[in-house]
Amino acid sequence: MTADDASVLQRPAEPPDFLHAYGTEEEHIADVWKPQQQTDRPLILFLHGGYWRPKIDRQHARHTCAELSRRGWPVASLEYPRVPGDPDQSHRAVQQGVQALPESLGFQDALLVGHSAGGQLSLWLAATSPPASLRGVLALAPVADLKQAHTMELGEGAVADFLGEDPTARPDLDPAQHPAPEVPTTVLHGVHDSRVPVSISEDYVQSHPSVRLLRLDPGDHFTVIDPEQSQWRHIPAELERLQGQSLS
């Protein structure tokens, strides 16, 4: 297993067109990009990763969000509270934002995209409380199984830090413990991911066979959010496919 190329985290990123609040708390905010031309595409709601750590916010996702906007997609990248030991605060905020943002930004339809920890939040929300606007989910290297991630000690104990307890006590927050989302769902994962091993996604899809799995080879944990990587092209391609499924 190779080391992941985290250079995308250090490069300056293009700022959003504007910020939009979806709630009353400081972190109930979203970066918003709107394409230059009018579009009938659904709004992309992006949930960033970072193992739910307070120090890692949405800014590292700006590269991929800005590039999707340049390709004609409207994008809202949500910030959400990341308080160790209080996972419900994160989940409530994501529920609120995904519910409120499409309508408040003038969209009827949305696609939900989440990377890493944001992938966990995306799969969980789509399985437990999907809003009427949700048309599909794209989970990028998701922490799709909290129990397995905890056993593997991923992120130096990130799961226990986030939950404040053993994940067996919170099956309600674990995507692996819920049915597959009813909307079309794809998991996309680099085969050389050393931060969230692809085996987690493979096991999730095996137990949720309606979910599509795409393995990127080559590909690591950050390939999926770095537009400078050639394999990143699979992200807009899969969004096109999900949009097509929602229209059929």
Residue 211 burial (C-beta neighbours within 10 Å; 0-12, 13-18, 19+)? buried
Asked if residue 116 is part of any domain, the answer here is: yes
pLDDT digits (tens, 9 = 90+) for 215-244: 999 999 999 999 999 999 999 999 999 998
Residue 85 lies inside a defined structural domain of this protein: yes
Q: Is residue 83, in this structure, part of any structural domain at all?
A: yes
Q: Look at residue 125 and tell me if it is in a domain.
A: yes
Q: Of 178, 174, 179, which is closest to residue 163 (Cα–Cα)?
A: 174
For residue 2, the model assigns a pLDDT of 54
Question: Is 1 inside a domain boundary?
Answer: no
Domain assignment present for residue 49? The answer is yes
Give a yes or no: residue 206 inside a domain. Answer: yes
Structure tokens at 247: 């229209």
For the stretch 19-75, pLDDT in tens is 999 999 999 999 999 988 778 899 999 999 999 999 999 999 999 999 999 999 999
> Which pLDDT band holds residue 247 (cuts at 50, 70, 90)?
low
Residue of 35 and 104 predicted with greater confidence: 104
Query: Would you state the pLDDT for residue 212?
Result: 98
For residue 184, the domain's CATH number is 3.40.50.1820
Closest Cα to residue 240, out of 182, 186, 180?
186
By CB atoms closer than 10 A (0-12, 13-18, 19+), residue 101 is buried
- Residue 157 domain boundaries: 7-247
- For residue 39, the model assigns a pLDDT of 84
**What is residue 5's predicted lDDT score, i.e. its pLDDT?**
81
Quick one: pLDDT at residue 28?
98
In a domain, 2, yes or no: no
- Residue 1 pLDDT class (50, 70, 90 cuts): very low
Residue 174 above 50 pLDDT?
yes
Tell me how many domains the chain contains.
Answer: 1
